[in-house]
Structure 1
Amino acid sequence: MSMSGGRGTAERLVVIGGDAAGMSAASQARRMRGPDELEIVAFERGRFTSFSACGIPYWVGGDVPERERLIARSPEEHRERDIDLRMRTEVTEIDVAGQRVRARDVDSGAGSWTPYDKLVIATGARPIRPDMPGADAPGVHGVQTLDDGQALLDSLARTRGRRAVVVGAGYIGVEMAEALVNRGYEVTVVNRGKEPMATLDPDMGRLVRRAMSGMGITMVDDAEVTKVFTGEDGRVRAVATQDAEYSADVVVLGIGVRPETSLARTAGLPLGAHGGLLTDLAMRVRGHENIWAGGDCVEVLDLVSGQERHIALGTHANKHGQVIGMNVGGGYATFPGVVGTAVSKVCALEIARTGLREKDARRAGLQYETVTIESTSRAGYYPGASLMTVKMLAERRTGRLLGVQIVGGEGAAKRVDIAAVALTARMTVEEMTALDLGYAPPFSPVWDPVLVAARKAAAKVRAGAR
């Protein structure tokens, strides 16, 4: 039954969330169907739409000179495409049975119900804030939205001191450490793990720690911040771990994010082990014909392990939005899953990973071999060649590639894409050794580092089989 009574014959699509997944879905649906067929109403509780959260550390660090460069499409541009986009409006309730959502104007507090025929949930993720005294003090910042980035920049402009503490050493933590180093801050990174970058195996994380220490960043590993101290003005002045205290004029939280699915949970929609919404291949919420979800609020299938994962990345969010918009608009598309590819950098060090870590492989019940090699980004004799370390996991007996991690200088990180394609194609390391990759001395040694690792892994698999 259509809920579009009083609106002619047009169906109504309601989108919750105005960033990558939500507005990609709205835009794609609009390309498929005109306003006479499909009315689109989108709600965004913040002040910005279609922005690059991944670019925030580079804006804060000064590599990107202005905020507007991170905005792919403004609210006005969306409205010009016949999308009824309502900014500073937060959806507070989803009535699944009644096919309607309740939204509240953030500034006035006024609320009202909006009926829908089709619903897209793209509520994103929220930064993990430690539950401790002083975590909400002025000068303590998360960096999830452009509003967060602006608040941090404003805080840096007001701060006389030059001491910064970054809590967490994942992607956001190391990228924010670089941003603050670029701003001339004395940076301390407090990390709960034994090594930074828990998305890598510890032996590869150790290389990141050594490099960050070499850049003058103080690394405090195996420690947890337990308290934030404030000065007489109420602003942060230090953070404490169980063993020590670190002075801080600004604190940045880089502990990670969780799916923002409180609305979905209250509405009784299905959530996975990581708290993200569960969808089918068409990104339709399981068990609900007219509700779709995408972006950082969903769980995705890991094509290597066969298990559900939560990965907050703009690449996936945009693909989810395209798939949802195609399906909502009457076409057909699917999102088959991910292999877990991610790249990052801290100053001159590039960091990349795809597929499974050793502990992921063990959790999935897989037996494996590992190899680690050192090579260079270019022919050794060519100027500017930089060192890199490549670690590769291959399944025991079958030789199927399971994962690759790379840490090194310029030219290291994007080599992980070779492995991402090989993982998607379910190639063996033996098959990888025959890949016809581009070669010339300015770009690669005769044997690309990834292929050197594949050769070594293939030999280890053969030896194990014997």
Structure 2
Amino acid sequence: MSMSGARGGRERLVVIGGDAAGMSAASQARRLRGPGELEIVAFERGHFSSYSACGIPYWVGGDVAERDRLIARTPEEHRARDIDLRMRTEVTEIDVARGRVRARDVDSGDESWTSYDKLVIATGARPIRPDMPGADAPGVHGVQTLDDGQALLDSLAHTRGRRAVVVGAGYIGVEMAEALINRGFEVTVVNRGKEPMSTLDPDMGRLVHRALEGLGITMVNNAEVTKVHTGEDGRVRAVATEDAEFPADLVVLGIGVRPQTALAEAAGLPLGTHRGLLTDLAMRVRGHENIWAGGDCVEVLNLVSGQEQYVPLGTHANKHGQVIGTNAGGGYATFPGVVGTAVSKVCDLEIARTGLREKDAHRVGLRYETVTIESTTRAGYYPGASPMTVKMLAERRTGRLLGVQIVGREGAAKRVDIAAVALTAQMTVEQMTALDLGYAPPFSPVWDPVLVAARKATAKVRPR
């Protein structure tokens, strides 16, 4: 086992994780400080760097033709900017007391220690695999990294049967269900919740349920997978719940992800209730002056509820990286928190949410009113106008906006950004009714659907 050599007085920044947060941090630090001042070493255990994990379902489904379209910057491009990116190298230990990390070459097994002055932990997340028989059988796939996506595509090419089961109906679950339909599979989605998309309230999730069934997908709600059955060849052949069995030539796990923080926990770094690393506003790990963390391995502050939350999204990871790189490079930046905005689609049905769901508001002790309205994406008389449903939560008495959910056809989802800005500004629904939004018949009705919901919510929260 070797130890890295002298640095000639330069500081060394070590980054664990070569995707969005890690390489954004490395790149931003390099912009601020040249190679003569700061040495940057980054470790990535996979085959790819700086890629869009969010694009994997669309690559699997055939909407994105080539894997390389998802790669924002190759290892060679990072190295050309004097970032020593070491691929297929996994960090196995963080020695906080001595300021060093131990890394293992995945292919050769060789190990070495690398010392650091500053450390960035960007270890990401891992797909949740149910603790049950057969969960690791060939033909059962999680989809989190580009390596996972490649393994799934290889499996699709060699799977003789055309029956697929998707376990879970969150963002990844519904996107992968559509991707598999596009690939010619018969798809069953097994979901433990009352309706798909638990990030929505069940009444809005019901709209997604209908859209999935409209694609020919079999939706099984209120069902939890208890076992994966395998055949004589060891491959998956069926998925079982307590009272049913679903034949499967391929299984995709879409039941969410967990922060990959075992390395940080073993080093004694602080974790939150969701097992994500805890940081301050500068994304510095709490209690550690020269260690930062970002991306899918951290918890973030929800600005609406005031509580820490686990929200693994690429948008946050890139922002975290910018903040970390600025601070590690000697500048100053903060990440104040999130309001919980996310969008997705099932075929041409768009799904959006921001802020709190009903159960979120109830859990933190907020009293609220809800309104749900039906409108159209364009002026009703304009060609291409299609229906959209907007649900809005507002705090009782104060009228403060608490959350918005939107389900509709083309042009619906990005309207959630209006609500995201309003939440960040802590606006009331009455203040929202006066927003000067853009209008023309090809883009919206004269009263935008979000503002129609705000008007109705205003009337409902006013003291009688």
TM-score (norm 1): 0.98
Retained in 2: the 8 A contact 1:272–1:278?
yes
| C-alpha distance in structure 1 between counterparts of 2:153 and 2:6, whole Å | 47
- CA drift at 1:160: 1.8
2:74 is the alignment partner of 1:67? no
- CA drift at 1:231: 1.8
2:370 is the alignment partner of 1:370? yes
The DSSP-based 3-state class of the residue aligned with 1:422 is helix
In the other structure, the counterpart of 1:218 is 218
Report matched runs for 1:347-358 at 5 Å: 347-358=347-358
Report matched runs for 1:53-452 at 5 Å: 53-452=53-452
| C-alpha distance in structure 2 between counterparts of 1:130 and 1:239, whole Å | 12
In the other structure, the counterpart of 1:15 is 15
- Name the amino acid aligned to 1:19: D
| C-alpha distance in structure 2 between counterparts of 1:65 and 1:37, whole Å | 41
Retained in 2: the 8 A contact 1:177–1:187?
yes
In the other structure, the counterpart of 2:48 is 48
Q: Structure 1 stretches of 5 or more lacking a match?
A: none
| C-alpha distance in structure 2 between counterparts of 1:141 and 1:100, whole Å | 34
1:362-410, Cα deviation, whole Å (9 max, x unpaired): 1111110100000000000111111011000001111000000001111
- Name the amino acid aligned to 1:10: R
Retained in 2: the 8 A contact 1:4–1:117?
no
The DSSP-based 3-state class of the residue aligned with 1:226 is strand
1:265-285, Cα deviation, whole Å (9 max, x unpaired): 000001000000000000000
**CA 1:113–1:4 in 2, change beyond 3 Å: closer, same or farther?**
closer
1:416-450, Cα deviation, whole Å (9 max, x unpaired): 00000000000000000000111111100000000
- Name the amino acid aligned to 2:164: A
1:118-175, Cα deviation, whole Å (9 max, x unpaired): 0000000010001111111111101101111111111111112111100000000000
| C-alpha distance in structure 2 between counterparts of 1:286 and 1:136, whole Å | 35
Which aligned segments of 4 or more residues in structure 1 are displaced greater than 4 angstroms?
none
Retained in 2: the 8 A contact 1:4–1:11?
no
- Name the amino acid aligned to 2:79: R
> What is the percentage of aligned positions where both structures have the same residue?
88
| C-alpha distance in structure 2 between counterparts of 1:143 and 1:76, whole Å | 25
| C-alpha distance in structure 1 between counterparts of 2:349 and 2:217, whole Å | 13
The DSSP-based 3-state class of the residue aligned with 2:54 is helix
The DSSP-based 3-state class of the residue aligned with 1:42 is strand
- Name the amino acid aligned to 1:81: R
Q: Structure 2 stretches of 5 or more lacking a match?
A: none
**CA 1:68–1:293 in 2, change beyond 3 Å: closer, same or farther?**
same
1:45-103, Cα deviation, whole Å (9 max, x unpaired): 00000010000000000000010000000000000000011110000000001000000
- CA drift at 1:233: 2.1
Question: How many aligned residue pairs are there?
Answer: 462
Retained in 2: the 8 A contact 1:236–1:248?
yes
- CA drift at 1:189: 0.1
- CA drift at 1:4: 10
- CA drift at 1:6: 2.7
Retained in 1: the 8 A contact 2:342–2:353?
yes
| C-alpha distance in structure 1 between counterparts of 2:332 and 2:5, whole Å | 27
Retained in 2: the 8 A contact 1:369–1:395?
yes
- Name the amino acid aligned to 1:410: E
| C-alpha distance in structure 2 between counterparts of 1:346 and 1:179, whole Å | 10
- CA drift at 1:5: 8.1
| C-alpha distance in structure 2 between counterparts of 1:48 and 1:4, whole Å | 24
Report matched runs for 1:26-41 at 5 Å: 26-41=26-41
RMSD (Å) for aligned C-alpha atoms:
1.0
TM-score (norm 2): 0.99
| C-alpha distance in structure 2 between counterparts of 1:229 and 1:58, whole Å | 28
